[in-house]
Amino acid sequence: MFPFFLLFFMLASLITTGASLAGVDAAAFAPFKELSKFFIIMAMAAIGLNTDLIKLVRTGGRPILMGLCCWAAITAVSLGMQYALDLW
């Protein structure tokens, strides 16, 4: 099943970018920042709640190890980009 919430996140990003390029003040989007955080948390919770932990454990350690490796790589890239862009 396709995760349709991804389409909504991409649509929100396109709308924000388009409005920003059109000269709309960034303060107009301030209320939506908190709303977007809420929806990201709900999406991550939904993914976690749909995870069958028993099936994952029965599959073995390789998928868990792969997930940890992906998590570490994403974390490293994210922190590296924040450092490179002087955001951190």
pLDDT at 45: 92
**pTM, whole model, 2 decimals?**
0.52
Q: What is the mean pLDDT of the chain?
A: 88
pLDDT at 39 over 90: no
pLDDT at 88 over 80: no
Domain edges within the chain: 1-50, 53-88
Q: Which of 34, 1, 2, 28 is nearest to 15 (CA)?
A: 28
* Contact of 12 with 36, CB cutoff 8 Å: yes
Structure tokens at 3: 């995760």
pLDDT at 37 over 90: no
Angle CA 36–16–83, to nearest 5: 70
* Contact of 16 with 29, CB cutoff 8 Å: yes
Residue 82's pLDDT band (boundaries 50, 70, 90)?
Answer: very high
pLDDT at 84 over 90: yes
